[in-house]
Amino acid sequence: MQSRSAIDTPTFAQALSMGRRGAMSLAAAAVVAIGTSGIASAAPTGGALNLAMIGEPQGLDPVLSTADLVGTIMQHVFEPLYTFDGKWAIAPMLAESLPVVSKDGLIYSIPLRKGVKFHNGKDMDSSDVVASLQRWMEVSARGKSVAKEVESLTAKGPNAIEIKLKTPYAPLLALLAAPTGMAAIMPKEVLAPQLKQFIGTGPYQFKERRPDQFTVLTKYAGYSARSEPASGYAGKREALVDELRFVPVPNANTRVEGSMSGQFHYADLLPVESLGRLEKAGNSVVPIVTKNFGFPYIVFNTKEGVFANQALRLAAHTAMGEGELMAAGFGDSRLYTPEPNFFPKGTPFFSEAGAKLYNQRNPQLAKDQAAKAGYKSEPIRIMASRQYEFHYNMALVYAEQLKKAGFKTELQVVDWATLVQRRNDPKLWDVFFTHSGFFPEPMLTPPQMSDGAPGGWETDTKKKALNVFNAEVNPQKRAAMWGSVQQLIYDEVPFVEVGKFNSVSARSPKLQGYQPAFWPYFWNTSLTK
């Protein structure tokens, strides 16, 4: 293993790397962002991939859900108008090209690809796109944020749409490109508040879901791929294997053992302490280290309960030692970095605003602040899941930090699907642990930056700050404005970004063409015999 400096990666363009045993070190295995290589024409086809995921998806509608697990699975079935390439630039997917934007930044004219078929054999046209985006703006947290900015959404003939904004809105294309809370395009006739049919345009189609057993996707023979070379999520997608089997494996050690035994062709989000075992396992498994994978964060219930009181949220943050939480979650200091900036140094949105409020770990001051804010010894209900072991380990430590500051705590350990369900009901919790990936657009990460996300952060100050921030379409000027938003988050404490971490996963040597990514994807991958 290399030193910490060898594996820290401060830029988006270097965000992902593969770790292998032997001569291929973590440092030597660095790859660009999401990966840019395609699959050779001689790649084998056929077979089925067994893919061990952290648990059971709480649903299969990627529009309704902001859960990464749902996005990971259903991005193979559904596609948006735009996506991200290997350098996190916006690239067209179902759109023919990037939009033509009027000089005033209000009108986006979007041409649509011709010859795209849904999994039911129907040709996609502008009426399907308009209807899908209308549903997205009605039910998705990301879509609702866009809806407030949209003056009109109309079809312009069968192969184009037009989005007219009320004011310039810089995050529009990034929000249209996200795979969670996805602006997924589907046939207008299947649209409903709760989907009963999962029919998209992707290289794989939905076949079957058996709760707690598997979700199966099969190759769609009628898929219309883009012609550009594969780059990240963009470009040519090919279904080289016949079947993708996403298997819920909540126990992290079971995912490790299954990957080492060859039971799984890919195992997602393994405990960081398993890296050494994986590296010593010989040729049976290929460990993958994804650098600057994301950040764990703690969401406070700002809508109901104890933490509806902003002053008490500030006290709970004063008690927090983020460095101690990161050490508890990830152990090996090479795999995490505690720092107050939301975005890595060297990226456009780097800022140290609010840094003095990070990693205070001051129980006495927190106790004084809580007493002044009127804390009455109500129990603080902390939700965490052991399916993400680092969530659980951090929750244990944070509960103790709160106790030292005089707070009573109640730790609720639930499976991930239950947590995702419960966090939507503000009567059931006060704090929950989760994580997000790093993306080049702040409005994508985390969902709390939008409206309607768990936690209920919807203040007038937030609205004002984000309106100013998002109305600035000049990238340099907008980047310089991020510090004021970051400061607001530290002041109002709707959530706390704990630090930055690398992740560990693993693949079988038989799985070829896989490119590490925050939302793992398995088009353009093949299975050797």
Q: What was the pLDDT predicted at 440?
A: 79
Q: What was the pLDDT predicted at 431?
A: 98
**Nearest CA-CA partner of 78 in 128, 8, 23:** 128
Q: What is the CA radius of gyration of the chain?
A: 22
Beta carbons within 8 Å of 358's beta carbon, 6+ residues apart: 322, 339, 340, 490
| Sign of the CA dihedral running 146, 149, 152, 154 | negative
Q: Which two tokens stand for residue 169?
A: 């809105």
By CB atoms closer than 10 A (0-12, 13-18, 19+), residue 155 is middle
**Nearest CA-CA partner of 112 in 160, 175, 57, 64:** 160
| Contact of 479 with 348, CB cutoff 8 Å | yes
Q: What was the pLDDT predicted at 107?
A: 98
**Nearest CA-CA partner of 382 in 299, 303, 456:** 299
Q: What was the pLDDT predicted at 23?
A: 26
Beta carbons within 8 Å of 378's beta carbon, 6+ residues apart: 305, 306, 408
Q: Please report, as a single letter, which amino acid is at residue 87.
A: K
Domain ranges of the chain: 4-47+226-291+503-527, 61-206, 293-502
CATH of span 61-206: 3.40.190.10
CA separation for the pair 327, 340 (Å, rounded): 15
CA separation for the pair 471, 167 (Å, rounded): 7
Mean pLDDT by 10 residues, the chain (529 residues): 28 34 30 39 84 93 93 98 92 98 96 98 98 97 93 98 97 94 97 95 98 96 97 97 97 95 96 90 91 91 97 98 96 90 88 97 98 97 93 97 98 94 96 90 87 92 95 90 97 97 94 93 95
Q: What does each C-alpha distance from 365 to 311, 372, 376, 394, 501 come to in angstroms?
A: 12, 11, 17, 22, 29
- The secondary element (H helix, E strand) that includes residue 418 is helix 416-422
| Contact of 18 with 513, CB cutoff 8 Å | no
Write the DSSP symbol of residue 410. Answer: E
Q: What was the pLDDT predicted at 42?
A: 63
Q: Which two tokens stand for residue 216?
A: 């199966």
Q: First-to-last CA distance in the chain?
A: 31
| Contact of 59 with 255, CB cutoff 8 Å | no
Beta carbons within 8 Å of 282's beta carbon, 6+ residues apart: 21
By CB atoms closer than 10 A (0-12, 13-18, 19+), residue 356 is exposed
**Nearest CA-CA partner of 2 in 25, 20, 21:** 25
CA separation for the pair 39, 46 (Å, rounded): 14
Please report which residue ranges of 51-125 form alpha helices under DSSP H: 68-74
**Nearest CA-CA partner of 276 in 337, 336, 338, 335:** 335
Q: Which two tokens stand for residue 314?
A: 């500030």
**DSSP bridge pairs for 413:** 384
Q: Which two tokens stand for residue 500?
A: 């930055």
Q: State the pTM of this model.
A: 0.82
Write the DSSP symbol of residue 90. Answer: E
In CATH, the architecture of 4-47+226-291+503-527 is 3-Layer(aba) Sandwich (3.40)
Q: What are phi and psi of 393, to 5 degrees?
A: -65, -40
| Contact of 416 with 268, CB cutoff 8 Å | no
**DSSP secondary structure letters along 155-222:** E-STTEEEEEESS--TTHHHHHH-TTTT-----GGG--SS-S----SSSEEEEEEETTTEEEEEE-TT
Q: Which two tokens stand for residue 115?
A: 């010859």
Q: What was the pLDDT predicted at 18?
A: 32
Q: How many CB atoms are closer than 10 A to CB 487?
A: 17
Beta carbons within 8 Å of 136's beta carbon, 6+ residues apart: 63, 142, 143, 146, 182, 183, 184
CA separation for the pair 69, 76 (Å, rounded): 12
- The secondary element (H helix, E strand) that includes residue 439 is none
Residue 296 in 3-state DSSP?
strand
Q: Please report, as a single letter, which amino acid is at residue 81.
A: L
Q: How many CB atoms are closer than 10 A to CB 237?
A: 22
CA separation for the pair 199, 50 (Å, rounded): 22
| Contact of 391 with 296, CB cutoff 8 Å | yes
CA separation for the pair 182, 268 (Å, rounded): 21
Q: Hey, which CATH number is domain 293-502, 3.10.129.10, 3.30.2350.10, 2.120.10.10, 3.10.105.10?
A: 3.10.105.10
Question: Same CATH fold, 293-502 and 4-47+226-291+503-527?
Answer: no
Beta carbons within 8 Å of 414's beta carbon, 6+ residues apart: 383, 384, 385, 422
